[in-house]
Amino acid sequence: MAAHYPSGTGSIVAIAGHPLHPMAVSLPIGALILALGADIGFWITQNPFWVYAATWLLLAALVTGAIAALLGVIELIGLGRARTLKVGLAHGAGNVLLLMLSLWNYSLHLDTPEQVIPYGLIISIVGVVLVVATGWLGGELSYRHGIGVSRQIGVSEGYDHGYPPNSRDRSANPKVR
């Protein structure tokens, strides 16, 4: 059975109560998915434009991924519940691996564009699979364990926390709609 938490952990790094890590991760995720698309475009057309596009997208993923990683490390260190969860460590380790793969792929695109097919394409595919896996783990942290979720969730609306946070059956609590 999943753990029951009466409230979220809140966030260490937030603006107006909105945690920055979940906002920041969308940028490297999008850049890595688009870089895979550019590599596929190069594979199909052999037009060097796609190698240049993928190179810039990988650089964007590295820069924004480093920012997201820093924010994630601050949350991991600062939130006691996060430090105790193996899923948090797996999420972080997977994203460190993803940054290392992205750096390798970036250098391959920059230095040896003739090797983008097949090596860069393969690394891009592995990277997107890793993005999906680590994204799933990040969702587990937020949605199952309340990491980064407001400590006051539902309080201002008068909701009762008399049910597990991941319960689908809320009929036991008529205040929740």
Domain spans in the chain, listed from the N-terminal domain onward: 18-144
Quick one: pLDDT at residue 155?
Answer: 52
Number of other CB atoms surrounding residue 94 within 10 Å: 18
Low-confidence ranges of the chain (pLDDT < 70): 1-4, 6, 152-177
Quick one: pLDDT at residue 83?
Answer: 83
Quick one: pLDDT at residue 167?
Answer: 47
Token pair belonging to 135: 């994204």
Quick one: pLDDT at residue 4?
Answer: 64
Quick one: pLDDT at residue 154?
Answer: 52
Biggest CA–CA distance in the chain, Å, is 63
Quick one: pLDDT at residue 149?
Answer: 78
Quick one: pLDDT at residue 147?
Answer: 82
From CA 99, how far away is CA 72, in angstroms rounded? 13
Quick one: pLDDT at residue 162?
Answer: 53
